[in-house]
Amino acid sequence: MFGYIIINKGDMKFKEFDIYQAYYCGLCKVLKEKYGLTGQMTLSYDMTFIIMLLSGLYESETETDYCKCVAHPFERHMTKINEYTEYAADMNILLSYYKCKDDWMDNKKYGRLLYAQLLKKGYHHLEQKYGCKIRRIEALMEQLTKKEIDGCTDVDEMSRLFGEVMAQITVYKDDEWKENLYKMGLYLGKFIYLCDAYEDIEKDLKEGNYNPFYELYKYPDFEEQCRSILVMMMSECSREFEKLPILDHIEILRNIIYSGVWYRYEKIHSEREAKEKGQAQEQ
């Protein structure tokens, strides 16, 4: 379920992209420092959003530096790191661990099982560090896995479970903004879960894998219903986001919430439309 919380680069100013990339590179650096190459390989843009969201909300002190790395060996590039970078790195390891386990259950790929084993040490460290948060996420993921095995097709219930996982991750501390962050994470998580299901529906049906859209896919208005559900999820997410007193990086965050998160959905939707038109023309 990675790769959905991204920017729309075409609608972003060069300076904004440089700042966004600096937080991303900062996350990469912290992952390597804390978890080595195994952790660094889990790097994704999704957690960069969490860093910038919490940084903008709490206006933390951020260290700006310049460094070289394997991806940029010939020139120094900017990195931005603060306390939320370490938190995002930890949450990235957590989600990656569950993603590997999920891939193993779905496709029985031994590479994913092996990778999960490599991440397990870091995961146990998180259990000790975050206590109740990790136990809550663990319980939610276990419920989600059980219901997937049982073939549950209640779209709202299935998306809620992953939504609550994202809500736990989005909430950094127990303060006045906890409720808004929780609701924002809840609806963002529901959107991600359903987008992932939408993207994989044809492949899952072909391979006999679980998908919450199994029943809905049988109806001729499947595409319209999916879009309607996803729009509703992001509308609620956006509503909670706009209640937060964020000034720093607000345009970057809005770019992600209002545009970037739709990139993969629109790509898949366009490909399916083109495929259907081609099949109709052949007939």
**Per residue in 40-90, pLDDT tens?**
888 888 999 999 999 999 988 999 998 877 666 668 889 999 999 999 999
**Per residue in 14-49, pLDDT tens?**
999 999 999 999 999 999 998 888 778 888 889 999
Tell me the pLDDT of the chain averaged across its residues. 88
Q: Is 225 helix (H, G, I), strand (E, B) or coil?
A: helix
pLDDT at 177: 96
Pairing type for strands 63-67 and 77-81 reads antiparallel
**Per residue in 185-243, pLDDT tens?**
999 999 999 999 999 999 999 988 899 999 999 999 999 999 999 999 999 999 999 99
Quick one: angle between helices 132-149 and 83-107, nearest 10?
Answer: 20
The DSSP string of 9-46 is: GGGS-HHHHHHHHHHHHHHHHHHHHHHHHHHHTT--SH
Cβ pair 256, 5 in contact under 8 A: yes
**Per residue in 104-143, pLDDT tens?**
465 555 555 555 555 666 666 777 788 888 889 889 988 9
pLDDT at 113: 54
Angle at 198 between CA 203 and CA 113, to 5 degrees: 55
Pick the range with the lowest mean pLDDT from 3-7, 221-225, 242-246. Answer: 3-7
pLDDT at 129: 83
Nearest to 192 by CA among 137, 130, 263: 263
